[in-house]
């Protein structure tokens, strides 16, 4: 499943880069959406607040982490957070420090 905020962030980054036409970007995003989407709700916001106070990550990152935890994800790929940090069953992995075979798919 894909969080709507993640899809919005990916869309924003791809548009800013400017190396793909908008139609191609939206096709990519629509492909992710085929796996299902979930939106942020009040429970997500409450969980993000706790994560923010406990871990000192940015607010946007805490919203994404809270969403991943709600969806029972095991791994969260980020180059901006502490590689290997575990939060409530979720392990943060820097995709630039691990080769693809080292990143579990499920």
Would the pLDDT of 86 be above 90? yes
Query: Would you list the domain boundaries of the chain?
Result: 1-39
pLDDT tens profile 35-82: 877 878 999 999 999 999 999 999 999 999 999 999 888 998 888 899
Q: What are phi and psi of 75, to 5 degrees?
A: -130, 145
Q: What is the DSSP string of 6-26?
A: HHHHHHHHHHHH--S-HHHHH
CB atoms within 10 A of CB 92: 22
Distance, in Å, from the CA atom of 27 to the CA atom of 47, rounded to the nearest integer, reads 32
Distance, in Å, from the CA atom of 62 to the CA atom of 60, rounded to the nearest integer, reads 5
């Amino acid at each position: 499943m894909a969080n709507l905020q993640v899809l919005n962030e990916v869309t924003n980054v791809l548009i800013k880069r400017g190396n793909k036409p908008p139609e191609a970007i939206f096709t990519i995003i629509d492909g992710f959406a085929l796996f299902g989407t979930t939106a942020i709700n009040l429970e997500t916001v409450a969980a993000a607040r706790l994560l923010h106070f406990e871990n000192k990550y940015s607010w946007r990152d805490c919203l994404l982490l809270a969403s991943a935890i709600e969806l029972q994800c095991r791994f969260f790929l980020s180059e901006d957070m502490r590689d290997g940090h575990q939060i409530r069953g979720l392990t943060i992995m820097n995709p630039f420090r691990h080769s693809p075979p080292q990143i579990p798919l499920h």
